[in-house]
Every structure is written in C-alpha cells, then in structure tokens.
Amino acid sequence: MADWYTNFANSGFGTTVTKQLGLPRPAVLRRYEPGRPLLPGPVVIGSAGSGRLRETLTRVVTDAGGTVLPAVEPDGEKPAAVLLDATGVTGPGQLVAAHDFLAPAIKRLRASGRVLVLADPPADADSPATAAARQALDGLVRSIGKELLNGSTANLVFVPEGAESSLASPVRFFLSGRSAYVDGQVVTLSAADVPTGEDADRPLAGRVAVVTGAARGIGAAIARVMARDGAHVVAVDIPAAGQSLAEVANEVGGTALQLDITAADAPARLVEHLRERHGGVDVVVHNAGITRDKLLVNMDAARWNSVMAVNLQAQLDITEALLAAEGVLRDGARVVCVSSQSGIAGNRGQTNYAASKAGIIGMVRAWAPAFAARRATINAVAPGFIVTEMTANMPFGTREVGSRINSLQQGGLPVDVAETIAWLAQPGSAGVNGQTVRVCGQSMLGA
C-alpha cells in the first residue's frame, strides 16, 4: 500500500499524465516481507581507506543469503546495493577513492537500491584532517540521498574500533525493505556483546513487548510488526480506546492493558502487570503521544502540560520504574521511544510538542550508558510525515506539500516506523544505543 498519488503516478494513465505535466513520480518502495531474500540483486563492496570492515561486510551479506559482485561492469549485472567501506581514511585526499567507486556503481543501481557507507566516527579522529575526511562522508551521503531516484536510499554508519561485531544487524536493516523510508541517516555504533543465532524471520520470538498507544495509528502497526516478528505484545492505551485496543490485541494474539500512562499509579501498575502476568519484559515501546497545537503566545498551561505529561514525563517515569523494579526489565532489554521530526526541526504552532519530542532525544542519549551497563539499549525513532488518521484530516494543500518535501517524494506508512522500531528491538541490535533514527524519507525539514 502506498499513498493515493504514488499509486496514481505509477498507473498507466498516471505515468503519462505525470510525464507530460512534469510532476514528480514517487516510486513504490520495496518493503520487507518475511521469507523474501534480503535484496532483489547482488551487492557490490568497495573501499576508500584501509578496508578494515570489508571482510566482515562480505560475511554479513553472504550469511544473510546475499551475493557479492566483485565489481560493477558498465554492461554487467546491476547491483541492488552499494557498500562503501571508508574506514581508515586519514585525509580529504583519500576521498576521491569514494567518488571513483561510488559513481559507476550508483549509475547501475537498481530501483529501491541501497547505498550504505561505513566509516570511523569523526569524534574518535586523532587529527583535524582525519576528522574532516570522516565528517565529509556525512555530507557526501546526505547529498547522494538527494540525488538517488526510484526509491533508493543512502545512509551512513559510523563504526568505532572494537564495534565490528555490532555491524550485522544495522547492515541487514539498511539493505532490507525494513528501512524503506529511512534515508539520509547517520547511526553511530558502539561495542557490545551481540548474541548470535537469531532467526532472521522471527527475531523477537519468545520476547514480551509493551507498546503504548497501541489502539490505532502507528502504535497498532508496531503491535502487528512486533507480533509478526515473534513477540507477545502487551498493548496499552487509555480506557476510552478500550474497544479498538482489544481488537488490536486480539488480532496480534497479545494482551490488552487499559492504562492512562500519565496517571500517578501508571508506572507501578504497568510494572505489576508485567511481573504478575509475564514474569518481566524484554521490549518497551513508548509510542503514545498527543498534540495540542497553538502558537506559543496563545498557548494555555493546560495544552503545555498535557503534551509534556504524555509525550515526555510518562516515558521518563515508566522507564525509571522499570529500571528500579528488580528483575522486571530483563537482561538485554530494548527500550524504543517515539520522538518526531518536529523535535529536530521545530514546527510552527508546536512549541509544546517539539519541546517534548526534542526532550526524548536528550533522554535516550543520557540514559544510554546506564542501559549499556545492563546489556540493554535505549533509542528513539523520529518519524517525519507519516500517513495516518491524524495526517488524513489535514487540509489537502498542507498534506500534499508536507508529504512530498522529502527525497522519496511521498509520506511514510505506519509500518515504516514500526519496522525501524522492531529492528532496534532485535537482540542483534545490541550495538545501537542512545541513537535517534529518523524515519522521514530524508525530509528537507530539519535535515
């Protein structure tokens, strides 16, 4: 399923009309389907520095059932993904090797292709020239994202020395259809104990996952994707949404828990429910969120307070309670918090909402070391324009502009946010911690 314009632009009649009028023709994105190959074609791997990760990358691709092309020939097989190992780059002069590898490879890239660059983190560089070369890759990747056509994406992963074993899960995610709407993103890995032997189609098998705000929209999509990936879902929402909450919980074979997450006793009730009914929890997705928009000068305290309470304070209080309750947050737990592009770019009329969503980004960064010490992780996703009931009610013009001003020229789907959250929830994503990943199709806002 894509939005109406994408469907229209890809129909026979729509193709003719959009061509003649010079209108954008957004691609139908390649999305994940369990059991399908990781990629619809081979991967080409190149390097621009010492090539420290080349062997690991080759192994990750072949272990996932992919094939690696030795090189891209002008008339040869087209790659579905282009991986550049730029580790070991020590100065800007070496970057021309990135250009020399990427240009011909990207020329041959298939539709919904992937460009993924791996590099050392600029913050770890021992000289300004090295830091400059590493940071240059950020500008390179973001620009490639804006040049790619046909639903292809470009992303960058910084891999510190010692974090090589954290690489498999992010590489699989960025190559797969799970990352369909993740574009122009930068993720920095950390060294971690990464469990092996995960079932690629059911990576959450045997796990208990709490999803707040699960009665509809993005939360319901998260519940479905988590259940598809093998988790038992505890779906949480306010009592007023009880009917649809029960429907979602039944559909995914999970449990419904009616709970207003801002209630004073909500953290204690959730902890007790998880302890009594499930013996603990492995994954917590803080998805529930509200908007109460007004220009700051017209905003009353009630609007400010309610948004802060649901979007930020409840996440802090519940997470603190889970950390404090002995034996409830299990070893290797994953907490994923839903932020927003508004928290990065700011948004007119949303000072309260943007402040709460920016707060999430600070919160996960600050909590990451404490989570790592428990072999757990905490991360955020920041959705851009996602096609939901909320956005369907926007005026036509605002909705159309809002959904097109990104490199993929279309709004994302709730499932795109859900897939990114489910990836962060995987046991294999142990080396992704304290990060905020935008699911925004490389939106121009806050880029």
Give catalytic residue positions. Answer: 353
Is residue 345 within 8 Å of 446, Cβ to Cβ? yes
CB of 309: closest distance to ligand NAD in angstroms?
7
Which residues have CB under 8 Å from 314's CB, separation 6+? Answer: 212, 261, 262, 266, 286, 288
CB atoms within 10 A of CB 43: 25
CA distances in angstroms from 57 to 83, 108, 190, 266, listed in the order given: 8, 20, 17, 44
CB of 82: closest distance to ligand NAD in angstroms?
30
The SS3 call for residue 73 is coil
Residue with tokens 């009592």: 239
CA distances in angstroms from 347 to 229, 361, 384, listed in the order given: 34, 16, 12
Alpha carbon 152 to chain centroid, angstroms: 16
Whose Cβ is closer to ligand NAD: residue 142's or residue 216's? 216
Whose Cβ is closer to ligand NAD: residue 138's or residue 251's? 251
CB of 149: closest distance to ligand NAD in angstroms?
25
CA distances in angstroms from 348 to 295, 297, 311, listed in the order given: 7, 12, 18
CB of 3: closest distance to ligand NAD in angstroms?
12
Closest of 152, 183, 187 to residue 169, by C-alpha: 187
Pairing of strands 153-158, 186-188: parallel
Whose Cβ is closer to ligand NAD: residue 79's or residue 184's? 184
Measured distance CA(13)–CA(57) in Å, rounded: 42
CB of 1: closest distance to ligand NAD in angstroms?
16
Question: Number of C-alpha atoms within 13 angstroms, CB side, residue 174?
Answer: 29
CB of 219: closest distance to ligand NAD in angstroms?
5
Helix (H) or strand (E) holding 286: strand 281-286
CA distances in angstroms from 380 to 24, 57, 311, 437, 438, listed in the order given: 31, 26, 13, 6, 8
CB of 361: closest distance to ligand NAD in angstroms?
12
CB of 405: closest distance to ligand NAD in angstroms?
14
Measured distance CA(182)–CA(174) in Å, rounded: 8
Whose Cβ is closer to ligand NAD: residue 168's or residue 360's? 360
Whose Cβ is closer to ligand NAD: residue 89's or residue 241's? 241
Q: Which residues pair with 236 in a beta bridge?
A: 212, 257
Phi and psi at residue 3, in whole multiples of 5°? -75, 165
Whose Cβ is closer to ligand NAD: residue 282's or residue 416's? 416
Q: Which residues pair with 186 in a beta bridge?
A: 156
Question: Which positions lie near ligand NAD, rule CB under 6 A?
Answer: 212-213, 215-219, 237-238, 241, 260-262, 287-290, 310, 338, 340, 383, 385-386, 388-391
Helix (H) or strand (E) holding 126: none
Whose Cβ is closer to ligand NAD: residue 341's or residue 407's? 341
Whose Cβ is closer to ligand NAD: residue 383's or residue 428's? 383
Whose Cβ is closer to ligand NAD: residue 121's or residue 289's? 289
Helix (H) or strand (E) holding 436: strand 436-439
Which residues have CB under 8 Å from 435's CB, separation 6+? Answer: 187, 188, 364, 379, 380
Measured distance CA(173)–CA(214) in Å, rounded: 24
CB of 388: closest distance to ligand NAD in angstroms?
4
